[in-house]
Structures are given as structure tokens and as C-alpha cells.
């Protein structure tokens, strides 16, 4: 139930504010956290990646919100140290992690 509400909130903000609006991206991050806690880690990581990519493009790599989402995604990937380190390397080198895909 919580995942459904979080998904509806993320999609609603996306439609209302646009894909690159920080509030829409933060809702996508919230969806990632909700999915991860709901034992749907692959979907949660995908939502975190979408939020991170959008925040990198919209707010920049050093914005506190971007860095917070990077930390959340890294924690979600803690079971896969290679992927977590690759993520940190991509971010520190200024590469966008993934293109947001809202569809």
C-alpha cells in the first residue's frame, strides 16, 4: 500500500511539475526508499538512480539534495560494493549516472 501511494505521488508530481522539477525528483527518491523498505530492492535502486540522474542535471553534482540521494543509493547498493564504488566514481568524475526514465 505504501509503495502504491509513493508511486502515485511521484507520478503526480512528475505530471504536475515536470520531470526535472526538484520536488518531482525528491518524490522519485521517496519512492525508491519506500520500495527498498518494502523488499523490492531492484525497483528501489532504479528509482534512486532516476532521482539521482535528474538531480545531477537539475541541481548539480554538489547540491546537498543530490549528495543525499547519492548516499541513499550507495547505502541501497551496500550489498554490491563494486556497484557502490562505481557509482561514487561516476558521481565524482561528473558523469550523470543514468537518464531519468519516467515511463
Q: Rounded distance, CA 99 to CA 9, Å?
A: 20
Q: What is the mean pLDDT of residues 3-19?
A: 95
The pTM of the full predicted model, rounded to 2 decimals, is: 0.81
Which is more confident, 30 or 100?
30
Do residues 58 and 50 lie in contact, with contact meaning Cβ atoms separated by under 8 Å?
no
Tens of pLDDT, residues 60-78: 999 999 999 999 998 888 8
| pLDDT-derived band at 47, boundaries 50, 70, 90 | very high
CATH 3.40.50.2300 corresponds to the domain 2-92: no
* Mean pLDDT to the nearest integer, 19-48: 94
pLDDT above 80 for 11: yes
pLDDT value of position 34: 96
Burial class (CB in 10 A: 0-12, 13-18, 19+), 3: middle
Query: What is the residue extent of each domain of the chain?
Result: 2-92
Amino acid at each position: 500500500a505504501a509503495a502504491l501511494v509513493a508511486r502515485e505521488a511521484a507520478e503526480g508530481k512528475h505530471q504536475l511539475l515536470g520531470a526535472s522539477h526538484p520536488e518531482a525528483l525528491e518524490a522519485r527518491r521517496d519512492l525508491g526508499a519506500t520500495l527498498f523498505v518494502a523488499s523490492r530492492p531492484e525497483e528501489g535502486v532504479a528509482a534512486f538512480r532516476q532521482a539521482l540522474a535528474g538531480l545531477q542535471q537539475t541541481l548539480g553534482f554538489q547540491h546537498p539534495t543530490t549528495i543525499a540521494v547519492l548516499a541513499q543509493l550507495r547505502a541501497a547498493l551496500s550489498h554490491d560494493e563494486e556497484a557502490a564504488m562505481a557509482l561514487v566514481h561516476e558521481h565524482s568524475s561528473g558523469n550523470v549516472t543514468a537518464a531519468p526514465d519516467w515511463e
